[in-house]
Amino acid sequence: MAAAPLFFSLLLLSSTSAVTSPAENLQKAAEVLSDAHFSSMGLTLDLISDTHIIPPSPSLTVFSPRDSAFSRSGQPSLSLLQFHFSDLSLSSQFLRSLPFGTEIPTVLENRSLVVTTLPRDARVSLNGVRITNSPLYSDGSLVVFGADEFFNSSFQLPVPIQGHRTPNLLCASSIKNSQKSGFNFKADNLFEKASKVMRSSGYSVMASILGMQLLGIENPATLLTIFAPIDESITKRVRNFGEYPSIFLQHTVPCRLLWGDLVDIENGAVAIPTYRKGFRVHVTKSNDNKLMVNKVPIVRPELYKNEWIVVHGVGDLLEGSNRKGGDGSYPPTGGNGQGNNAVAMKNFKAMIVITAIFVHIF
């Protein structure tokens, strides 16, 4: 076994003190794990409870591999161990709400776990490894989930193959159950209601884009969250109508995230993908405890919601850290930009249709 390097590192560091709220409870969690077939990780938590291996943080989530995983792989390296810790307090409900491809930060620098849960999966999976539905331990600041195996720190999502379904087009949806129960509708009626509410509340530009892109598609199988900028922010800064499809894609997330889900996200650490390739949104809290998306305040939470879509009104256009286009921010005006927008919009429409076909078949 490769236990010696990590074990002696833990012993050397055990003489130091790193007192944080979750670290004080690591020993309690270790006792629980020892009684639940996770004794190897329990012993590890006990050893690191008084060390600097885990950076000081008011909250912590641990993903504990089973004893059988330790038997197969041996004691993990220090870096691999850190890859199983996130300095966020993550609930099972929140993890279940995250769409495929969402990144969850770990205490291993510049390394994140990736949500790989598909709609029909009974259990949440990260980096292709299933975790327990409920925490093995939770005290409000420290949360411990079980994991079937060790996470692979080199894991990457597969490159989509032309002609194959792309999992990150889907969100954890109960559409099949809705269809079985006889619930049926036309998308134009569904989005017409959302558009009407948006128009009457000062979000008429996004309401118009929503109507143009989604009308006429029956039984959409994709859940949506739209962060709708107020009209003034769009009309003052966007002069080219060809940019509107990009705006819509950049402000739309392939999952239904209610206000409560957003509140559970801590300090922008979770990067949530949008329909705009390469662009992600981060939810943070301001100094006065207001919820923000990419540093833009959410001014009208749950402006509209139903079984499929939720709209949150935001005070401005969402941008990344760089407006030069490398991060998926608004493209320059002109022919090339319009061409890319048209392709993006076609992909978005096709995405909803493909997903609907997928659900119909299976």
Over residues 257-274, the pLDDT tens digits come to 889 888 877 666 678 888
What residues have CB less than 8 Å from 290, skipping those under 6 apart? 297, 298
Token pair of 15, please?
Answer: 């003489």
Q: In this structure, are residues 113 and 151 in contact, taking their beta carbons and an 8 Å threshold? A: yes
Q: Which of 92-101, 116-125, 193-202, 333-342 has the lowest mean pLDDT?
A: 333-342
Q: For the chain, how far is it from start to end, CA to CA, in angstroms?
A: 45
Percentages helix, strand, coil for the chain (3-state, rounded to 5) are: 35, 20, 45
Among residues 220, 265, 273, the alpha carbon closest in space to that of 249 is found at 273
Looking at per-residue confidence, does 166 or 63 come out higher?
Answer: 63
Average pLDDT of 102-107?
Answer: 90
pTM: 0.54
Q: What is the pLDDT of residue 23?
A: 56
- Residue type for 226, please? I
Distance separating alpha carbons of residues 261 and 115, to the nearest angstrom:
16
Token pair of 239, please?
Answer: 């002069």
- Looking at 35-112, list the stretches that DSSP marks H as alpha helix, in order from N- to C-terminal side: 39-48, 67-73, 78-82, 92-97
Q: What is the pLDDT of residue 156?
A: 82
Q: What is the pLDDT of residue 126?
A: 96
Per-residue confidence band for 357, with pLDDT thresholds at 50, 70 and 90 = very low
What is the Rg, in whole angstroms, of the alpha carbon atoms belonging to the chain? Answer: 22
Percent of the chain surpassing pLDDT 90: 27
Averaged pLDDT score across all residues of the chain: 74
SS3 state at 230: coil
Q: What is the pLDDT of residue 140?
A: 81
Q: Which domains does the chain have, with CATH numbers?
A: 3-147 (2.30.180.10), 171-361 (2.30.180.10)
pLDDT higher than threshold 80 for residue 11:
no
